[in-house]
Amino acid sequence: MVVILTRGTINYAVQFEGDPIAGDFLLPSITDFPVMAMYVHVIGHSLGLLSLNKMCSLVFMQLHVFSPGTTLPDQNIVLEGVSPFRITLGAYQFNLKHQLVPVPEEMYFDRGSSLRHLPLRIEDKAANKYDCEAGTTKIDDLKAC
C-alpha cells in the first residue's frame, strides 16, 4: 500500500470471477501458496486527509486475522467518512507458477468477455440459419459459421 496523506492511497483489491471487486488485499509474502482463481486489482483512492484512516483499516484487518485477541477499533469507526469510490489502475491474476501477471485486455469485462461464448443464431429472410458464438464472428463471415 502506498499512502500520500494529502492525496490518497494506492493498494490492492481482490475480485473473484463474476463478482464485483470485493475488498482490500495484501499480497502474500511467501511464494509457496495455493493459487486462487481471483483477480488482483491495483486500486487508487482519492481520499485526501482520510488516507491515514484507510491505511489503518487495512493494517487493523491484518492484525485482526493474524493476531487474534488484539483489541482494535471497530472497522466502521475507522472508515467513517471515507469514500467508497475508487478507480482500477490495472488488473492482474496469478499463474500456475505463483506469479502475478497482467490480465489480457480481451478478458476485461468492458470488452465483452462475459458475452464472448454465448450461442447466437442469425436467420435471414430466406430462412437460412447461422449458428455462431457471439463475439467470434464478423457479419461478413456468417456463411462460414
User: Domain residue spans in the chain?
Assistant: 2-103, 112-145
**Cβ neighbours of 137 (radius 10 Å):** 16
Whether 144 shows a pLDDT value over 90: the answer reads no
Query: With a threshold of 0.85, does the pTM exceed it?
Result: no
Q: What pLDDT was estimated at residue 142?
A: 46
Q: What is the pLDDT of residues 87-143, one digit of tens each?
A: 888 889 888 888 889 988 777 665 554 545 555 566 667 766 655 554 444 444 544
Query: CA-CA distances (angstroms) from residue 108 to 80, 101, 133?
Result: 32, 14, 18
User: Helix, strand or coil for residue 82?
Assistant: coil
Q: What pLDDT was estimated at residue 130?
A: 59
Q: What's the CA gap between 23 and 28, in Å, rounded?
A: 15
Q: What is the pLDDT of residues 16-30, one digit of tens each?
A: 887 888 888 877 777
Please check whether residue 76 is in contact with residue 134, taking contact to mean a CB–CB distance below 8 angstroms.
Answer: no
Q: What pLDDT was estimated at residue 111?
A: 55
Q: What pLDDT was estimated at residue 109?
A: 61
